[in-house]
Amino acid sequence: MATKRSQAVGILNAEVPEGRIYRSNEGGPPYLNRFNQLTNTNHTLLLANWLGVNGIMTACNGFVGWYAGRLGIAGITNWFKLFQALAGGPHSDAWVPASTKGARPKPGDILRHSNAFHVDVAIGLKGNILRRVGAGQGDGTMYSLHDPKRDPKIRALEYDCLRRVDGSGPYNWQNLEGWLDIDLFFRETDATADAVPDWLVGWWRVTWRGMTYFYYFDQNHEAKWTEIQPPLTTFPPLAANDTGDFTADQFSVIAVRWRTTQAVETLRPKYASSGNEMTGMCDGDRMTAVKL
């Protein structure tokens, strides 16, 4: 099974590759706007905030929330209060405070900045420059979205960006309050809670809102769904309507997040079913699954 850090790097490389810039005002409806999909934040919401008094809202918190969900991090609702969210909980040791002689962020770690109301994700160090990926990068003008004093006439023309960025100078620990170390966060759960159970792998007939779908779960934490019943249940689908990533906790609760729609579904084995039936929820409605 891939480590969480390698999964994190794979997510970042696939979704926000080098040189790719997603803008909040890209054309088309919100559900086709990749910025909106990766940050759960749309341009209309941002613009309404900017046109208000001292509006400085960005989508940085939304992107980190999306990324954390893809990786399987749950239970943190405010990434600006990352230390407080981790303190006293089962993952309290995952918080690494920035210090002059301490560790440095590694690829996939979630960063809480000290010199701005900002969070993003580390890509790693290039030489002594910290590379990151995040939203809240501004519109490319002379103004910063974190500057409430910027000219109000410009605000209506602004847009937020999600992209890779390099530090403006050598790594300075004082620019960070600290970060969530993903190795430490998943240290106790990687080998057990997040392992894919043998009974899950394969094809399932899923019923939801009176419709029938066919899901395929593999051993690499990927799920695929199709409306076409497989002629053979020994092979994964050649094509799928969507692909998702899933986690499995110590209670065999399966949480799937579909990549295109970003919809989240939860399933768990039905009591006394010997692992061949599941029940769960999607968009507030019950769903059932039977192993083929």
Query: Does residue 190 belong to any structural domain of this protein?
Result: no
Query: Does residue 234 belong to any structural domain of this protein?
Result: yes
In a shared domain, residues 140 and 202: no
CATH number of the domain to which 283 belongs: 2.40.128.10
Q: Comparing C-alpha atoms, which of 101, 51, 56 is closest to residue 80?
A: 56
In a shared domain, residues 91 and 172: yes
Domain that residue 231 falls in = 198-291
String of DSSP letters for the chain: ---HHHHHHHHHHHHS-TT--EETT-SS-GGG-HHHHHHS--HHHHHHHHTSTT----SHHHHHHHHHHHHT--S---GGGHHHHHTTSTTGGGEEE--TTS----TTPEEEESSSS-EEEEEEEETTEEEEEES----SSS--TT-TTS-HHHHTT---EEEEEE-SSS--GGGEEEEE-HHHHTTTTTTTTTSPPGGGSEEEEEEETTEEEEEEE-TTSEEEEESSPPS-SSS--SS-SEEEEEEE-TT--EEEEETTT--EEEEEEPTTSTTSEEEEEETTEEEEEEE-
In a shared domain, residues 168 and 233: no
In a shared domain, residues 138 and 226: no
What pLDDT does residue 145 have?
Answer: 65
What pLDDT does residue 94 have?
Answer: 92
In a shared domain, residues 12 and 105: yes
What pLDDT does residue 53 have?
Answer: 75
Residue recorded with tokens 């088309």: 28
In a shared domain, residues 146 and 204: no
Q: Which of 164, 185, 206 is the last residue of a domain?
A: 185
What pLDDT does residue 89 have?
Answer: 82
- Which of 48-57, 141-150, 211-220 shows the lowest per-residue confidence on average (mean pLDDT)? 141-150
Query: Does residue 191 belong to any structural domain of this protein?
Result: no
Q: Which of 185, 207, 231 is the last residue of a domain?
A: 185
In a shared domain, residues 253 and 159: no
Domains of the chain: total? 2
Q: Comparing C-alpha atoms, which of 21, 72, 105 is closest to residue 254?
A: 72
Distance CA 102, CA 87 (A): 19
What pLDDT does residue 190 have?
Answer: 45
Check residues 137 and 202 and name the one with the higher pLDDT: 202
Q: Which of 185, 206, 236 is the last residue of a domain?
A: 185
Evaluate if residue 188 carries a pLDDT over 70.
Answer: no
Residue recorded with tokens 């701005």: 116
What pLDDT does residue 29 have?
Answer: 67
What confidence tier does 1 reach under pLDDT thresholds 50, 70, 90? very low
Q: Comparing C-alpha atoms, which of 236, 153, 208, 183 is closest to residue 71?
A: 183
Evaluate if residue 191 carries a pLDDT over 60.
Answer: no
Distance CA 284, CA 281 (A): 6
Average pLDDT over residues 166-194: 81
Q: Comparing C-alpha atoms, which of 73, 84, 94 is closest to residue 183?
A: 94
pLDDT, tens digit (0-9, with 9 covering 90-100), for 64-95: 999 999 998 988 888 999 999 888 788 888 99
In a shared domain, residues 274 and 175: no
In a shared domain, residues 181 and 207: no
Query: Does residue 102 belong to any structural domain of this protein?
Result: yes
The radius of gyration of the chain from alpha carbons, rounded to an integer in Å, stands at 21
Tokens for 122? 């580390």
Query: Does residue 25 belong to any structural domain of this protein?
Result: yes
In a shared domain, residues 212 and 267: yes
Distance CA 149, CA 46 (A): 16
Residue recorded with tokens 């089962």: 90
Per-residue buried b or exposed e for 141-166, using 16+ beta carbons within 10 Å of the residue's own CB: eebbbeeeebeeeebeebbbbbbbee
Query: Does residue 51 belong to any structural domain of this protein?
Result: yes
- Which of 100-104, 237-241, 286-290 shows the lowest per-residue confidence on average (mean pLDDT)? 100-104
What pLDDT does residue 292 have?
Answer: 94
Q: Comparing C-alpha atoms, which of 84, 134, 89 is closest to residue 109?
A: 134
In a shared domain, residues 240 and 261: yes
In a shared domain, residues 179 and 207: no
User: Taking a C-beta distance cutoff of 8 angstroms, is the pair 106, 181 a contact?
Assistant: yes
What confidence tier does 142 reach under pLDDT thresholds 50, 70, 90? very low
Query: Does residue 99 belong to any structural domain of this protein?
Result: yes
Q: Comparing C-alpha atoms, which of 47, 22, 39 is closest to residue 145?
A: 47
Query: Does residue 77 belong to any structural domain of this protein?
Result: yes
Evaluate if residue 98 carries a pLDDT over 50.
Answer: yes
Residue recorded with tokens 């994700």: 121
